[in-house]
Chain A
């Protein structure tokens, strides 16, 4: 019953739909940003949206979402252009260019914001909302716009799919084919700016950085193909959006944005640990097994070649465990005369011979 109440709650519906839209758009675009080694682009563009939002407020005098989108897109693009100029025409590296644009555009936004607060005392208090998002205040009309942006962006991505893919993985080759690489790169960047606009309302400026990176980083672990990676990233984005929004509504008082980000981060950690093939856990297990196999070979070899010296192996812990295992498997047994020293059983002899044969073959 409680769940039914929740599902029919107007605010909850809006937040969940908004969060899913954000996941749907930021996941796929984040993949492109990450693969192009511009993971922090989202961070910079979201900070650079602040002056645009303020400018649109100064010009239109209202908090109309259409104006905010155009403003944020304009200053976001300007910041991206500045970054490009700084990296292409000066000795500054990408990281410095991103940091410079991020902080200066944000500072400019702060200046404009205080200017607004100083001149007309109209609906302000927007900064807090802008920095941390205000998911609960999402309106149905906002959702339509966010949905339209998401759809349009994904459709555009679909149209330029082949070109975007080639530019991402081999820009030089794309250029030799005569593709307008700069235009395609600019389009991809502008689309990230659009994703940022959708995210401002939900998670705010600062956390938008993670919304671009986290779903893409998680998806990268599960897939080696761009198409499926994009789909997984969108899925991760939606799941973290929906669960973050749900936890926030159920807990009453915890901010939605941070919860969405923490859910996404948790998914990244799980993916890093468990993803088939790339997962750290599988890597650790494989390493452990290899280590054990090597120790087993070493033990069998030494017992076969130097039965007296081999007794010393008992001192280390790892060897003692492998020793016990070999004993249980019937390769080794306590020697019959004193019951302390180890010796190879006939089965162990055979196995040891095989090991020795491989070693001698490699290094005669």
Chain B
């Protein structure tokens, strides 16, 4: 019965979509909280460069070497950005805007030169082909499991393993880096570990959703969760739930309208963010308005003198 479910095309796609969302919103949560969301943009674009380089060096298109190699380029982007920002000649956001287009350009030019050998299509580079994940399967215990599902599950485990292991340290490093440093938690190294995981997640999610939609999966559910709760652990749960809901609703809407599945899933994360923004129980705009109106109507109590 499970085999039947997996050969059905809908389930693998939805599962992969949900897994991409869960894995990337885990790391995205920290990016959003630290005010570094645009690093996901920089990383996801410059791994195009990494994927091309690794391919040219090893002729490998998938597997752990590719994953690590391309993920290292993501880290390189961050290092270059920090180096540029540390010269104090440009601000950090400007540094991001300088580094990743340059790496991306080199990647595209290399693709230009070796276009006839490289199997990487610029189209998939940016959009991914989540609709075809069920075509590329590997056998696990006799079941044809989509490869993307396996790699995304591994990334989810790795991400949550890291976060679970260093939960207290990450939490402190995010909200009070100075205190974390005095405690000897090494917030910088922790952060780079987190960025390495972000990078690897982006590479793993690459075939499924591509470079640009990865940004949506990484930071939109996390942002929505940030609008709904004040607790860190709750953010992960809400982020994961929004990812699952977006994947489900996005898939069926996309099939119904006959449009891009990955794109629709990303749009749905945006819809959930808008809902959270407008109707969130504490910080929602409409909730605030209603509260204010309620307060205005309430009779003003005269101050009771003691």
Contact = CB atoms under 8 A, between A and B. Distances in A.
Interface stretch (B64-72, B88-96, B132-140): B88-96
What is the size category of the interface that chain A forms with chain B?
Answer: 35 or more
Contacts of A127: 123
Contacts of A272: 84, 87, 89-90
A129 to B, nearest CB: 11
B109 A92 contact: no
Nearest to B266: A107
Interface string A105-123: 0111111111100100000
Contacts of B102: 210, 261-262, 265
A103 B126 CA distance: 12
A112 B37 CA distance: 26
Q: Is the interface of A mostly helix, strand, loop or mixed?
A: helix
Nearest to B285: A89
Given A99-B40, A217-B90, A265-B98, A111 B259 contact: yes
Interface string A85-109: 1100111110110111011101111
Interface stretch (B5-13, B167-175, B181-189, B269-277): B269-277
Interface stretch (A224-232, A252-260, A304-312): A252-260
Contacts of A326: none
A106 to B, nearest CB: 5
Interface string B5-39: 00000000000000000000000000010011110
A209 B97 contact: yes
A102 B264 CA distance: 15
B122 A104 contact: no
Given A95-B35, A114-B263, A213-B94, A278 B258 contact: no
Contact of B263 (A38, A85, A108, A210): A108
Contact of A206 (B96, B101, B285): B101
Interface stretch (A40-48, A180-188, A347-355): A40-48
Interface residues of B, number: 57
Contacts of B257: 111, 115
A344 interface: no
B98 A214 contact: yes
Nearest to B222: A96
Contacts of A206: 45, 101, 104, 126
Contact of B123 (A128, A210, A261): A128
Interface string A67-97: 0000000000000000001100111110110
A103 B224 CA distance: 14
Contacts of A102: 41, 212, 215
B37 A95 contact: yes
Nearest to B103: A265
Contacts of A216: 94
Nearest to B104: A206
A128 B122 CA distance: 8
A103 B98 contact: no
A103 B91 contact: no
B219 A96 contact: yes
B51 to A, nearest CB: 15
Dominant secondary structure at the B interface = helix
Nearest to B270: A104
A29 interface: no
B89 A280 contact: yes
Contacts of A34: 91, 94
Most buried by B among A90, A98, A257: A90
Interface in B278-299: 283, 285
Contacts of A108: 263, 267, 270
A103 B266 contact: yes
A73 to B, nearest CB: 21
Interface string A163-186: 000000000000000000000000
Contacts of B38: 40, 95, 98-99
A110 B260 contact: yes
Contact of A42 (B97, B266, B285): B97
Contact of B37 (A89, A98, A254, A257): A98
A87 to B, nearest CB: 11
Contact of B127 (A110, A132, A258): A110
B105 A262 contact: yes
Q: Chain A CB within 10 Å — which of B101, B102, B254, B270 has the most?
A: B101
B164 to A, nearest CB: 24
Contacts of A95: 35-38, 93
A39 interface: yes
Contacts of B87: 272, 280
B285 A43 contact: no
Contact of A93 (B35, B127, B277): B35
Interface of B: 32, 35-38, 40-41, 45, 84, 87, 89-91, 93-94, 96-98, 100-102, 104-106, 108-109, 112-113, 122-123, 126-127, 212-213, 215-216, 219-220, 223, 226-227, 254, 257-260, 262-264, 266-267, 269-270, 273, 277, 283, 285
Given A99-B38, A113-B260, A213-B98, 8 more contacts: A92-B32, A107-B264, A110-B213, A212-B97, A214-B97, A216-B94, A220-B90, A262-B106
Interface of A: 34, 37-40, 42-43, 47, 85-86, 89-93, 95-96, 98-100, 102-104, 106-115, 118, 127-128, 131-132, 206-207, 209-210, 212-214, 216-217, 220-221, 253-255, 257-259, 261-262, 265, 268, 272, 278, 280
11 contacts: A40-B97, A92-B227, A104-B267, A107-B212, A111-B260, A111-B263, A114-B259, A210-B105, A214-B97, A265-B102, A272-B84
